[in-house]
């Protein structure tokens, strides 16, 4: 990168002059030459060079490593170290500041030129990558906000349709024949299904958005709570939901964990044609050293092996005909991914399914705030 500005930080006057002349011969510009870390930080702020050539050992109380760290944090300017010391301890200390390379003294012009060009190119790529990531995060936030707005706006007219159909059924029941009553009942059922889908889409759009407090979650108590909420569905199908073994108490987002288990359990009860639907929830914290391995097993309809990889997709899913059940699995995938885990399914047609997912034992949240 010709004409790049290089700030030289070197405490040996003769060496500093030699480096400046070499750089100028190589068509670089040298806005300043300083010999202390304090002056290096000051000049970096004043001149905003493209790169800093930094000697590790300088005059004054501040080392080149300390100055480089402050320059990186304050101005995001790449630093290339100059040093006559190549011992492991010095290099390890220097690594903390994430330098763009090292040049050992004495060095040749070709070596100086190639290291500077590589450092400048790497910094350019890093800057473009950070810019792209920032733009992607912004686009993702806007997409989530758009999904939330659209879903919210759709609920208003649906609520009106629901209320109007209830009014017609209540006020004009004696004027409707059986076919009319059935048509209105189908309308209400369809509206309810769409509302459920919208609610699920809202949940999906909010996952990873904003800060939620990590809590200590007793999964045995949480499973009892979920079972209680699903009691009407469980009673209607004559099914049961059980924990096989003791479930752990974990550090996680309780609201996410509840949504995850609720969707998997409800999925197992819904896609089930057996006389007594059964969903088993278990955990094996010994199989994986750093993760909890959870299993949610049902005795339902199962799924063909060729379709198993697609059931967590929101659009391209073989379960699209089941509406909010399909969205529920997409929610599960998103939650597990946000937790930093993995999720998959094992199944054969007609033999039920076993969902397996992992969650880190030492969970830390690095999402957007």
For residues 3-22, average pLDDT? 93
Q: DSSP E strands: which ranges in the chain?
A: 6-9, 33-34, 51-55, 79-83, 102-104, 215-218, 240-243, 249-252, 278-284, 291-298, 343-347, 353-360
Pure H helices in 177-245: 178-206, 219-229, 231-237
Domain residue limits, the chain: 6-107, 133-206, 215-360
Q: Report the chain's terminal Cα–Cα distance, integer Å.
A: 38
Separation in Å, CA 319 to CA 143, 178, 234, 300, 339: 24, 32, 21, 14, 24
What does the mean pLDDT of the chain come to? 83
* Number of helical (H) and strand (E) elements in the chain, helices listed first: 10, 12
**Same CATH fold, 215-360 and 6-107?**
no
Residue 367 pLDDT exceeds 60: no
Please report where in the chains the tokens 């290099």 appear, as a residue.
91
CB proximity list for 35: less than 8 A, separation 6 or greater: 9, 10, 11, 13, 16, 58, 59
CA angle 286, 254, 296 (to 5 degrees): 50
Nearest to 193 by CA among 216, 221, 161: 161
Which pLDDT belongs to residue 52? 95
Q: How far apart are CA 19 and CA 17, in angstroms?
A: 5
Q: How far apart are CA 152 and CA 155, in angstroms?
A: 5
CATH of 6-107, picked from 3.30.565.10, 3.40.50.2300, 2.170.190.11, 1.10.3720.10, is 3.40.50.2300
Q: Which residue has the higher pLDDT, 27 or 203?
A: 27
Poorest-pLDDT segment among 150-159, 206-215, 293-302 = 206-215
Q: Return phi, psi of residue 6, to 5°.
A: -120, 120
Residue 60 pLDDT exceeds 50: yes
Residue 127 pLDDT exceeds 50: yes
> If 0-12 CB within 10 Å is exposed, 13-18 middle and 19+ buried, where does residue 29 land?
middle
For residues 339-360, average pLDDT? 90
Residue 166 pLDDT exceeds 70: yes
Which pLDDT belongs to residue 323? 47
Residue 57 pLDDT exceeds 90: no
With H, G, I as helix, E, B as strand and everything else as coil, classify residue 33: strand
pLDDT in tens, 277-331: 999 999 987 766 789 999 999 999 888 887 787 888 765 555 544 445 567 888 8
pLDDT band at 164 (very low <50, low <70, confident <90, very high): confident
Which pLDDT belongs to residue 24? 93
Q: CATH for 215-360? A: 3.30.565.10
Residue 234 pLDDT exceeds 50: yes
Which pLDDT belongs to residue 210? 53
Q: Which residue has the higher pLDDT, 298 or 84?
A: 298
| Fold (topology level) of 133-206 | Helix Hairpins (1.10.287)
């Amino acid at each position: 990168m010709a004409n790049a500005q290089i700030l030289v930080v070197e405490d040996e006057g003769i060496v500093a002059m030699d480096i400046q002349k070499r750089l100028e011969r190589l068509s670089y510009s040298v806005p300043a030459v300083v010999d202390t870390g304090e002056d290096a930080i000051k000049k970096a702020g004043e001149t905003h060079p493209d790169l800093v050539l930094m000697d590790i050992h300088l005059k004054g109380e501040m080392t080149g490593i300390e100055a480089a760290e402050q320059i990186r944090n304050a101005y995001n300017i790449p630093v290339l170290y100059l040093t006559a010391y190549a011992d492991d301890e010095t290099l390890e200390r220097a690594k903390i500041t994430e330098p763009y390379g090292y040049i050992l003294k004495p060095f040749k012009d070709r070596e100086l030129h190639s290291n500077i060009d590589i450092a400048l190119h790497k910094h350019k790529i890093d800057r473009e990558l950070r810019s792209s990531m920032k733009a992607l995060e912004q686009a993702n936030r806007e997409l989530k906000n758009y999904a939330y707005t659209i879903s919210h706006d759709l609920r208003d007219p649906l609520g009106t349709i629901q209320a109007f159909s209830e009014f017609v059924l209540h006020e004009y029941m004696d004027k409707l024949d059986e076919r009319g009553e059935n048509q209105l009942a189908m309308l209400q059922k369809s509206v309810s299904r769409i509302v459920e889908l919208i609610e699920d889409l809202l949940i999906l759009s909010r996952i990873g958005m904003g800060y939620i407090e990590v809590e200590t979650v007793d999964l045995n108590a949480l499973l009892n709570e979920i079972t209680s909420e699903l009691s009407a569905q469980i009673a209607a199908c004559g099914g049961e939901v059980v924990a096989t073994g003791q479930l752990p108490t974990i550090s996680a987002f309780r609201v996410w964990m509840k949504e995850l288990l609720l969707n998997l359990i409800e999925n197992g009860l819904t896609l089930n044609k057996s006389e007594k639907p059964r969903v088993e929830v278990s955990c094996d914290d010994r199989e994986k050293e750093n993760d909890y391995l959870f299993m949610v097993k049902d005795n339902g309809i199962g799924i063909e092996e060729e379709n198993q990889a697609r059931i967590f997709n929101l659009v391209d899913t073989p379960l699209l005909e089941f509406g909010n059940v399909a969205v529920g699995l997409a929610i599960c995938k998103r939650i597990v991914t946000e937790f930093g885990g993995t999720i998959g399914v094992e199944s054969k047609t007609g033999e039920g399914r076993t969902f397996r997912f992992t969650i880190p034992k030492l969970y830390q949240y690095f999402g957007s705030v």
